[in-house]
Structure 1
């Protein structure tokens, strides 16, 4: 085709580079960073056919120059075309099943459109284009109608050999025909939702890279990095291909186990230590509360150390109560009400600070915890002691000396939990805790800057063995929170949980593992040097800021 040029050359003399349009174009180009990267697919603009949009399977996407006068329109069409090519490549030998590409690309572009800022949607409001009409008029994108949609097929000119959707496609489309940024904010509660203006969640983070913001490993949440996002986006492509080849269920189970094995390798954990992923650190607390109820027949008391520096929903979760108004599986519930199947427990909260806001001494904290343990022991109750190793502000309690004293107490029914959610721990610290029989909670979204939220429990061999032998089932209300696949397959207790897979949790952990792996592959000398230099810089900056 004559008068065709690569898209990167098209904008060189465009009026879009005039001063008043630059900010808008930059914003669109930033969003283009979330589009999958595919090898050997050229994006070509046509000046001879300014209204053309054509997909040449496995080769190129041709887009008319008129689209480029409306960058957001071009973005939507190119996002569709690239997604179509991604699924076409995944078909391997089954190239006749192009209907799957149509279906999946339509589903992805619908979600992609919904994630656009409100201003960008308004720019598309009065445009008359096939894709835009399908989306904005809420035309049913069910798979049967997509298979026979001639307008969609005209983009690539291929005839679909199947007139009915294959049963094996359905779970693949349902779970993987979604933009990576959407997957990173799915499978969690309302805290992951973003506003339609700035595309930020309640913590000021996005489910796609935000390079214009400085996110220095927040103690709460960070936006995903470019590197981790690209790696996770690549994994989605691999999962699509493997699901079509080997089956969705086998591929998903292998992916989940791969993530767990990667964590075991990074932290040098014993294979008999069990890892359970959760949608957030607070969900991990709910898992602990549930496991405690099936392990012990005694009345239970949770002693929560550093209650003023844990997640805001942890106390409710430990009491077996809903901590948000929706669950990770998107069930609407009422915050602070009891979850079905949980029996009543006591909760003793021991904050780091006194009523005046002053930090308590280590001796004071140790004594408060000891008093709580002894009083609870004398009541004949089972104790779940939640200790803290590195709080949001960097504190630890109780002390190692206190733990040694605990070991001298007789007839003590206790399980110790280490809140390592900030994950400012070395592998040897985690190994040491597990060797002592402690359960460790971690997240990948704090120090290691994985996307929010990704929590996990690490259970030592002794606890794993105990739960494996239990013939009680988890509280019934957890069917609204977790799938059976979230828990070890060998455990009887989780047999009655929901079917399905939490891909949002998996993908967030994939991004987090990428960051953790990068960190530990950096020589320790450079790690320590970098952290020290950064801390010194921050300290000097504060001293030089006269307004502080």
Structure 2
């Protein structure tokens, strides 16, 4: 569909408003998770397609509502596209140019050489990125791919299906309706080996124990004779890194091309130096613009290190990837993209425009100042969680990767359990609390509950208070901004404590 037909796609036979056109595009080119409920006007993450001014938005580990600045940037870009005569009847060429500009800007903002834009694959979601990475790791062989990763509950909901070549949603960006869990047509079903990262009661396992299990699993997987994909979570839904980068590097050096390492950095809580180190080691890196950056949900990018790109540019791609990936989502140098449909995804491009607006603002902050602000904020939040009788903090060390950490060595996701009458709320009551918080008269957005273990014979789940790049930019751009952000976080925790009594 040509871009200037957007208005007709929103409400046929009517003249929709600019906001309705923007909403239609920002929620297109994904799956049912970003479709708007006709009654609430919100997607499955509880977010609408336009800024809403919520002051209690601490859910960036799940999703965020687009900011006013990003919304205006997207609107200006869409206006230019709709007013460009060259776009009329040639939306494929327009998307091709948009995708290339996004790849270039992302590379530069990530501190990479501009030429690395030719190694960036765009995708609608982080789950789609895992699907693509698994296909690259599998190669042209017929042996099933074995994926080794941390407990899938710490990653995206559909990742465990995606890496095995299974459907993970009821529809896809370019395909029709499908059944979750069924094999993709023509896919070679893979296997999954999951490594626990928490004790049965939810406490984090020691890093050395996780690493040891991860190494054993990868070595066992390679003995099967087929390709192996190791997924390094950086960071998980609850802020963990698993396995350690040192463990992944040891395995890569030992196993060579038999092992592909994918860094799941879809939270994008990663500094430029850490990203560069991962790529230097030959690891694929998956990023999204909708978590730490605070862009609208469904904007992903897979960065292929140059040492791997020289081989992967010549690799074939599975035709069934075309349900999830279009030809111009890939740089022109990847010859396998020829089997993919020539279908544009303007919604993806506009969501990335929003995310890059946030990334550009964040990159303008002095790193030392950002690290100092985050350190102070983390101390305030962790202290409240430790001292309040309603909460139990699921403590974990700050992220550790290579050498001296930067701002990304400070925790920005704070998982916690909620107590009532001396007991931890079970998973069902925690979910009820989460729903009550986000739908109340003063909506509060936290990260969706994550299953972490069992207490008293009942499954338990952690809520997550998460800091976003946009919040940090705002805090460092105004007098008293740090104190104001810390106070808002404390106010949210106090409200959680009060509401807990209502569901206990």
TM-score, normalised to structure 2, is: 0.70
In structure 2, what is the equivalent of residue 379 of structure 1? 224
CA displacement, residues 459-491 of structure 1 (integer Å, 9 cap, x when unaligned): 011221112223x3x223222222211122232
CA distance in 1, matches of 2:302, 2:309: 11
In structure 2, what is the equivalent of residue 475 of structure 1? 318
**1:260 counterpart (89, 98, 103):** 103
In structure 2, what is the equivalent of residue 180 of structure 1? 22
- 1:222 and 2:64 equivalent? yes
CA distance in 2, matches of 1:524, 1:410: 36
In structure 2, what is the equivalent of residue 207 of structure 1? 49
- Offset at residue 494 of structure 1 (A): 1.9
In structure 2, what is the equivalent of residue 198 of structure 1? 40
CA distance in 2, matches of 1:314, 1:410: 24
In structure 1, what is the equivalent of residue 214 of structure 2? 369
Structure 1 pair 412/463, CA: closer, same or farther in 2 (3 Å)?
closer
1:252-331 matches, cutoff 5 A? 252-270=95-113, 271-272=115-116, 274-296=119-141, 298-329=143-174, 331=176
1:493-512 matches, cutoff 5 A? 493-512=336-355
CA distance in 1, matches of 2:50, 2:256: 51
- Offset at residue 307 of structure 1 (A): 2.1
In structure 2, what is the equivalent of residue 403 of structure 1? 248
- On the 8 A contact 1:228/1:514 being kept in 2, the answer is yes
Secondary structure at the counterpart of residue 231 of structure 2: strand
CA distance in 2, matches of 1:135, 1:242: 23
Structure 1 pair 262/411, CA: closer, same or farther in 2 (3 Å)?
closer
- On the 8 A contact 2:128/2:162 being kept in 1, the answer is yes
Structure 1 pair 243/393, CA: closer, same or farther in 2 (3 Å)?
farther
Secondary structure at the counterpart of residue 335 of structure 2: coil
CA distance in 1, matches of 2:26, 2:57: 17
Higher relative contact order (CA 8 A, sep 6+): 2
- On the 8 A contact 1:194/1:206 being kept in 2, the answer is yes
In structure 2, what is the equivalent of residue 517 of structure 1? 360
1:87-486 matches, cutoff 5 A? 108=7, 111=10, 134-135=13-14, 179-212=21-54, 214-216=56-58, 218-244=60-86, 248-270=91-113, 271-272=115-116, 274-296=119-141, 298-329=143-174, 331-406=176-251, 409=254, 413-470=258-315, 472=316, 474-486=317-329
Structure 1 pair 177/494, CA: closer, same or farther in 2 (3 Å)?
farther
CA distance in 1, matches of 2:155, 2:212: 20
- Offset at residue 366 of structure 1 (A): 0.9
- Number of aligned residues: 386
Structure 1 pair 269/243, CA: closer, same or farther in 2 (3 Å)?
farther
Secondary structure at the counterpart of residue 211 of structure 1: coil
Name which of structure 1's ranges 314-323 and 301-310 shifts more when overlaid on structure 2: 301-310
- Offset at residue 372 of structure 1 (A): 0.6
CA distance in 2, matches of 1:493, 1:412: 19
- On the 8 A contact 1:352/1:359 being kept in 2, the answer is yes
- Offset at residue 248 of structure 1 (A): 4.2
TM-score, normalised to structure 1, is: 0.65
CA distance in 2, matches of 1:534, 1:319: 39
Pairwise CA RMSD: 2.8
CA displacement, residues 130-158 of structure 1 (integer Å, 9 cap, x when unaligned): xxxx449xxxx9xxxxxxxxxxxxxxxxx
Secondary structure at the counterpart of residue 515 of structure 1: helix
Name which of structure 1's ranges 299-308 and 318-327 shifts more when overlaid on structure 2: 299-308
CA displacement, residues 309-355 of structure 1 (integer Å, 9 cap, x when unaligned): 10010010011011011111251111110001211322111131244
CA distance in 1, matches of 2:216, 2:252: 15
Structure 2: stretches of 5+ with no match in the other structure: 389-493
In structure 2, what is the equivalent of residue 146 of structure 1? none
- On the 8 A contact 2:4/2:82 being kept in 1, the answer is no
CA distance in 1, matches of 2:326, 2:104: 20
Pair member with larger Rg = 1
Structure 1 pair 267/199, CA: closer, same or farther in 2 (3 Å)?
same
- Offset at residue 424 of structure 1 (A): 0.7
Secondary structure at the counterpart of residue 121 of structure 2: strand
- On the 8 A contact 2:183/2:189 being kept in 1, the answer is no
